[in-house]
Amino acid sequence: MLSSIFSKVESLTESHFWSPHENHDREDLGEIVYQGTLSRQNPSGGLRLETYYLTSKKLIYFQNSNGLTKYSNLSWKVIEPFVEEEASRRYGFCISYGKKCKYFYTKSSDDLDKWLNHLSFSAIMTDIENDYLFQKQIGTGSFAAVYLAKDLDSKKSFAIKSINKVVIQRNKRNLDQIIREIEIMRQIDHPNIAKLYKIYESETHVHLVLEYVAGGTLLQRLTTKGPFSEEKSAKFIEKFLKVLRYLCQNNIVHRDIKPENILMTDENKDTSFKLIDFGLACVYTGNLTSSCGSPGYVAPEILRKIPYDPKVDVFSAGIILYIILSGRAPFSAGSPKETLVKNRECFITFSEKYWGNVSRQAINVVLRLTQPNPLLRPTAKEALAYEWFRWKSNENMLLKSTPTSFSGVWSNLPTNPSPVDTSKKGLSSNRSVRMFPFLGEKNRISMKKFNNPKLAKKISMDLRREIETPKIKVKIHS
């Protein structure tokens, strides 16, 4: 019997294999996806044939003699097929729970295959080499490698994320992380999120069978084709905010949104994508405190070690919007450490070279989504109400109204954060506009004063010390 890393989870949630169904309403057990007969050994050593039912999570059988219904939750149980070579060959599978195992016998080899196929969507399987052909490695990370694989029956392609069990068992945090990732991905069902189909475990690895998306990453698309048009950017980010709204409705925070984790589904459509990699995702039950994310995309409150909520994903979406509109990253630096410093300070600049043909409405949305103060930053649902996303019904709003210079860009923008007053003397048309976090309308500063780097830093720090963010105490490190 396989030594499963998930046995600890099973022992914590299930003390017995079967649980009685107290409610007589069978609909509460879920929709039945398969039913068939299986045999089990009775105390006298013979086989007893019974009818079993399978839902997306449970194996169920009904005791007709007394009307009692029993079920077994399969989510963390491991399925191992077997063949007994005796006078007559017998086929079956065992279901492991904790350190114990229940044995079930099927009528034939074909019947075993049917049961295993349906069980594979409910439990953890062990025979991945019998089901998939690994073709090539297509990705790698700190804890896992991703392979392109072909289903041996359907011939369809899948992405298989293989995680070394040595790494998982190195500490409890790693085990909790993979369990959390599986729980979240099992819960998710959205057209713009890559789907988890099956889970396998061997003596050395845990394998997640995922939807394969062949169009490459958003980063690769931008590198090849350059920034998106404003119309495509509006379509893309509107669709992306709907993904975040769906996650928020299900109390899920991704926490690692970046171009590398967005896969394009069509080579010719820049607005078709799927979000991947929920390795850092978590369920939101209250303010979160764990530090995680990728430099350049993580929300400032995480870096400032302030309790945070799902709005951290909205900030990352704002950085994505900045990048697809301009082809530039707002916090790029020579090293990840320097990038994190810029990311934490959250000074965002708009150079006319890259932003001169972008409408004021688009810049407005970038500013709102990347608002450093999480209390002032919108939720995904709130952001979707912005006028900019109604380009279909108001075509004149985009492009035709784009400013030819930055002299009047800021007249209708929000004051959170407030930009530098570009009407001040000394700001030429090819200069950048620098954004200061937590600044109000009364604190606009002439760009001329920032020609001196030391003075610029002092003014910036002084202003941020003066302004108190409601309900949040921000520590400033000079």
Cα separation, 68 vs 20, in Å, equals: 7
Nearest CA to 168 out of 144, 188, 192 is that of: 144
Long-range contact pairs involving 239-242 (C-beta distance under 8 Å, separation at least 24): 239/192, 239/271, 239/273, 240/192, 240/273, 240/275, 240/317, 240/320, 241/314, 241/317, 241/380, 241/383, 241/384, 242/192, 242/380, 242/384
311 is in an annotated binding site: no
Active-site residue set: 256
Distances (CA, A) of 260 to 157, 273, 322, 415: 20, 12, 15, 32
Phi-psi group of 180: left, alpha or beta (phi > 0 → left; psi -120 to 50 → alpha; rest → beta) = alpha
Alpha helices (H) along 136-201 = 165-168, 172-187
Positive or negative: CA dihedral 100, 104, 109, 114: negative
Alpha helices (H) along 38-171 = 109-119, 128-131, 165-168
Cα separation, 331 vs 294, in Å, equals: 12
User: What is the DSSP pairing of strand 124-125 with strand 78-84?
Assistant: parallel
Evaluate whether 420 touches 433 at the Cβ level (below 8 Å).
Answer: yes
Nearest CA to 196 out of 130, 120, 129 is that of: 120
For residue 222, the tally of other CB atoms under 10 A from its CB is 16
Cα separation, 419 vs 436, in Å, equals: 7
- Helices 311-326 and 218-225: crossing angle in degrees, nearest 10, is 20
Tell me the CB-side half-sphere exposure of residue 3, using CA atoms within 13 A: 5
Positive or negative: CA dihedral 327, 333, 337, 339: negative
Q: Which residues are annotated as a binding site?
A: 161
Q: Which residues are annotated as a binding site for ATP?
A: 161
